[in-house]
């Protein structure tokens, strides 16, 4: 099959497929005489695998690790478990960060219940406060 069909089977764009190839996530496919990429069932499976991982917000690095494990079928799968646990950790960290953020935002929002002029707005005043919080090291890749 050609790239457009592959892409639609995995619900992504042809550009994304070509990008994954360039990144080494998808193997380089055979070409037709017209220089079109030619794919088969294994490519569909691998691309779906990648897209599912991306839908779970894994990085390409994480996906690459899983794909490497997938290519050694006889190994034991503890590496898979470790990676999944770590990634669940990434999600947990980000949820915690955002929950804290939301608290602060809601508190800030309360500083302006009645609409005043800009130079008296409690929100803008709150944002102008000098805080001493250096951005610390991130333990998640989720933005």
Partner DNA sequence: GCTTGACCCTGAAGTAACTTCAGGGTGTTG
Partner DNA sequence: CAACACCCTGAAGTTACTTCAGGGTCAAGC
For binding to a copy of itself (CB under 8 A), which residues are involved?
9-12, 44-45, 48-49, 51-53, 55-57, 66, 69-70, 72-78, 80-81, 84-85, 87-88, 91-92, 94-95, 98-99, 101-102, 104-106, 108-109, 112, 115-121, 123-124, 127-135, 142-143
Residues of this chain that interact with DNA (CB under 7 A) are 2-5, 12-16, 18-19, 32-37, 54, 59-61, 141
**Residue 30: which of a copy of itself, DNA, Zn ion, none does it interact with, CB under 5 to 8 A by kind?**
none
Minimum distance from residue 35 beta carbon to DNA (Å): 5
Minimum distance from residue 115 beta carbon to DNA (Å): 27
Greatest Cα pair distance in the chain: 70
Tokens at residue 17, please? 């497929």
> CA dihedral in degrees (32, 36, 37, 38; nearest 10)?
-40
Instruction: Look at residue 30 and give its three-state secondary structure.
Output: strand
User: Residue 50 CB: number of other CB atoms within 10 A?
Assistant: 24
Minimum distance from residue 113 beta carbon to DNA (Å): 28
Residue in 56, 77, 98, 105 binding Zn ion, rule: CB under 5 A: 77
Alpha carbon distance 37, 50 (integer Å): 19
Closest-CA residue to 51 (of 7, 1, 87)? 7
Alpha carbon distance 29, 77 (integer Å): 28
Between 32 and 107, CB nearer to a copy of itself? 107
Minimum distance from residue 95 beta carbon to DNA (Å): 18
Are 118 and 124 contacting, i.e. CB atoms less than 8 angstroms apart? yes
List residues near Zn ion by CB under 5 A: 77, 87, 90, 112, 121
């Amino acid at each position: 099959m050609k790239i457009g069909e592959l892409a639609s089977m995995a619900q992504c764009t042809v550009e994304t497929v070509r990008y994954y190839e360039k990144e080494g996530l998808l193997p380089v496919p055979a070409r037709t005489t017209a220089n079109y990429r030619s794919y088969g069932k294994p490519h569909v499976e691998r691309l779906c695998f990648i897209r599912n991982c991306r839908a779970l917000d894994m990085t390409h690095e994480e996906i690459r690790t899983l794909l490497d494990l997938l290519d050694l079928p006889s190994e034991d799968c503890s590496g898979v478990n470790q990676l999944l646990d770590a990634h669940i950790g990434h999600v947990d960290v980000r949820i915690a960060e955002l929950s804290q953020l939301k608290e602060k935002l809601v508190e800030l929002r309360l500083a302006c219940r009645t609409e005043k002029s800009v130079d008296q707005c409690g929100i803008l005043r709150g944002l102008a406060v000098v805080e001493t919080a250096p951005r610390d090291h991130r333990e998640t890749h989720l933005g």
